Every structure is written in structure tokens, then in C-alpha cells.
Amino acid sequence: MMGLSSLVFTEFHSLGFSDLIVFVAPLWIAVTAGVLVGWVWRPKWAYLDSKLLSDSPKFLNLQLPTSILKTSSHHVNPSLSSKEKTGFVTDDDFRHLWKLVEVKDGGPCWIQMMDRSTPTFSYQAWRRDPENGPPQYRSRTVFEDATPEMVRDFFWDDEFRSKWDDMLLYSSTLERCEDTGTMVVQWVRKFPFFCSDREYIIGRRIWDAGRVFYCITKGVQYPSVPRQNKPRRVDLYYSSWCIRAVESKRGDGEMTSCEVLLFHHEDMGIPWEIAKLGVRQGMWGAVKKIEPGLRAYQRAKAAGAGLSPSAIMAHINTKVSAEEFMNERGSIAEVTGDKPTGKNIPKILVVGGAIALACTLDKGLLTKAVIFGVARRFARMGKRM
């Protein structure tokens, strides 16, 4: 959702032509061969009169262009209760993000990819490759002279985003809850020439732990908006971040800077190795576009510009004390007979030891994969004990 995650899309525009040829040429050769073979061995029904196909409403529906989607309207459904709307993004999602921020999620080690900065902006990025699923990215961005509230509004403001995020073709609010701030939004994002555009149905919600904002956005199921061939819908999508005030790098002891910790992964339907190449090639160029957008947003607000409807929703947060919340969840688990001590302590010890061993003995991914694989097996055995 936030601008930092835009680099996953914009990085492909910075790939060199020779890089694209290396990856795309084999794909086109395979597609061409498949089409030729399929045409030679086409079944009898393929000879049907084209008029019959063109008269079919189903056939016509498959050809709806993206422009039709842009002109369609989806109104907020007031019939949904607060409980139903809150179900799109729940306390479990907040708990998962908190663990990611505190490095307590039990995942593999993060591999640093970048560490760059300007006088008013710094950026660090890491990647890890889970055993199953697309690559996962973690980044830390620090904006000088920015408040957490301003940065929160900036990334939530879909109406202003179009002024700085040229990858966003369309956005619409499908649902919103005035009690919890939960929203369901539809996005269509522009992709490079060799891919169709992508559609996202995203649930989002913010938790406020004393001016530390946990902003969660993820793909959700929403049958009311039917799928289309184009743009292609992305189901696996996670882009969440923690926003908080930090000390300025000027060293004056003032908490006038804002830190953003982003955790992002998705399955865009692109080979993961190509996606990783694009990230490596275009990450810094994409990230540098975010700060000018934030500064323009600050100037607009200083000039008296009002809040957009989506930015207003960013002010409706679930108040929480992160420590008390986690303690409460632990107490609930104990009362309900989950026995967290018997199940979790062996897993924590085994996985924690594996992480330490993998990071200490060897930097190779293969060695780490073997260690983590063995650790997971022992952890599962611990659960059954």
C-alpha cells in the first residue's frame, strides 16, 4: 500500500534492455512454439464460426478493457456491520506485524540489500527467501523533519497518491467502517510492457500504540467485484508497516524524524527470479521518488489543504498498548487450555538456535536452508509432545 512498496512495481522500468532479453526471450520462444503446436493439433470445436463466439455474452465479457473498470463505481455498502467489516483485518494481523517489527516471527535471517541516504532521507533494505512463497522484503526509511501522523496520512491518502505515484492507474473505496477505520479498497497498478496491469482488493486498518502506528494492508477476498482477464488480480499480497518518531540524525536529541519499517511480499504472477533482478536494479531509483511526494504533501497541508476521505479514515485507529495486548493474548491462550509453555518453548529454542547457528557458521543460503529445515522438523515434534 505505501509508497515504499511501489518499488516492487517501478523497478522493472529501470531494467536494461539486455537484462530483459535474457529473461523474456526464452519465454516468448516457448509461447510461440506452444501456439504453433496448439494450432496444428487444434480440436474440432476450434473451427466454430467466429460469429457464434462473438454473439456469446460470456465471450464479450472477457474482452472488457481496463477503461471500463475505471468508469465503474463501487459504493460503500452500509449494510455491513462493524463486526463484519473488522473481519477483513483482525487483531491476529496486528499481532503478526508486531512480531515482524520486534524480530520475533521465527522466520529466516534477513539479507541486507541496500544502505543509502541523502541529507533529509535514509533507506535500508533487506530480503529473505522463505521455503514456500515469494521473496519477502523489509525496509527501514527515516524522513527528517516529519511527524508520524503526517507520514501515516500521506501513505493512506489515495487521492493524493496519484500526484506522485505514476504506477497507480485507479483506486476506489469499496467498504469502510467508521468505528474501527477498516477499509477495503480496489487498486489497479500499471505494469511493464511485457505484463498486463494488476488489480488488488486490499483490506487495511491502523492500530495506534501511543503514536506508534501499525498500518496493515493485505489482499482480501471480495466476491462483489468479479475477476477479469485484464487487469489480472493479485491474491497473495501483504504490505504493512510501523511508523514512529525517532531522533534526528542531526544529533540534537530531538525526536523530529520519522521511521517507517515496511514488510512486503506478493505473488504478482512474475517469475520470482525476474522480480528479484528488478528489485536489485531499480530499488534506489524507485525509493527516491517517495520523499518529493511527502514534501509536497507537507507543503499542501501547511497551506491549509483539507483531508481527503481516505486520509480522514487514517485518523480512525484502534488504540492499543502493544505489550499489554501481547500479554493479554498469552493469558487467553493459557485460560483456553492451549498450554503455550509446552508447545512454544521447544519451538522457540530450536528455531532460535537454528537462526544463531545459521548466521554464525556460514553465510550461504543452502546451509541455512538445511539448518532451518531440520529445525522446523524438531519444532513440529515439539508441538506434538
Tens of pLDDT, residue by residue over 255-278, are 999 999 999 999 988 888 887 887
**Separation between Cα atoms, residue 284 and residue 123, nearest integer Å:** 9
> For residue range 40-97, what is the model confidence (pLDDT) as tens digits?
454 444 444 434 334 444 333 433 344 334 433 344 454 445 555 557 999 999 999 9
Q: What is the model's pLDDT at position 204?
A: 97
Position 17 scores a pLDDT of 45
Looking at residue 299, its pLDDT comes to 97
- Among candidates 240, 231, 92, which has minimal Cα distance to 156? 240
Residue type at 92? D
> Is the pLDDT assigned to residue 12 strictly greater than 90?
no
**Residue-wise pLDDT tens digits, 307-366:** 999 999 999 999 998 677 666 655 544 444 444 444 444 555 545 555 555 444 444 444
> Does 109-318 carry CATH code 3.40.50.300?
no
Q: Are 143 and 260 in contact (CB under 8 A)?
A: yes
Residue 351 backbone dihedrals phi, psi, to 5 degrees: -65, -40
Predicted confidence band at 192 (pLDDT cuts at 50, 70, 90)? Answer: confident
CA 123-126-128 angle, to 5 degrees, is 165
State mean pLDDT over 140-146.
97
> According to the model, what pLDDT value does residue 326 have?
65
Residue 163 has pLDDT above 80, yes or no: yes
With 0-12 / 13-18 / 19 or more C-beta atoms within 10 angstroms meaning exposed / middle / buried, residue 298 is middle
Is the bond preceding 231 in cis, omega lying within 30 degrees of 0? yes
Task: Report d(CA 132, CA 153) in Å as an integer.
Answer: 34
pLDDT value at residue 271: 86
Summary mean pLDDT of the chain: 75
Angle subtended at Cα 105 by Cα 199 and Cα 242, rounded to the nearest 5 degrees: 60
Q: Which long-range contacts (CB under 8 A, 24 or more apart) does 123-127 make?
A: 123/284, 123/287, 125/283, 127/276, 127/279
Residue 255 phi/psi, 5° resolution?
-90, 65
Residue 15 has pLDDT above 70, yes or no: no
Rounded Cα distance, 365 and 110, in Å:
11
CB 234 within 8 A of CB 267: yes
- pLDDT category at 289 given cuts 50, 70, 90 is confident
pLDDT of residue 325: 67
Query: What does the alpha-carbon distance between residue 49 and residue 60 come to, in Å, rounded to a whole number?
Result: 15
Look up cell 520523499; give the residue.
291
Question: Checking DSSP bridges between strand 213-219 and strand 237-246, what pairing results, if any?
Answer: antiparallel
Cβ-count burial of 333 within 10 angstroms (0-12 exposed, 13-18 middle, 19+ buried)?
Answer: middle
Question: How many CA atoms does the CB half-sphere of 224 hold within 13 Å?
Answer: 15
Asked if pLDDT for residue 8 goes beyond 50, the answer is: no
Is the pLDDT reported for residue 248 higher than 50?
Answer: yes
Q: How far apart are CA 203 and CA 185, in angstroms?
A: 7
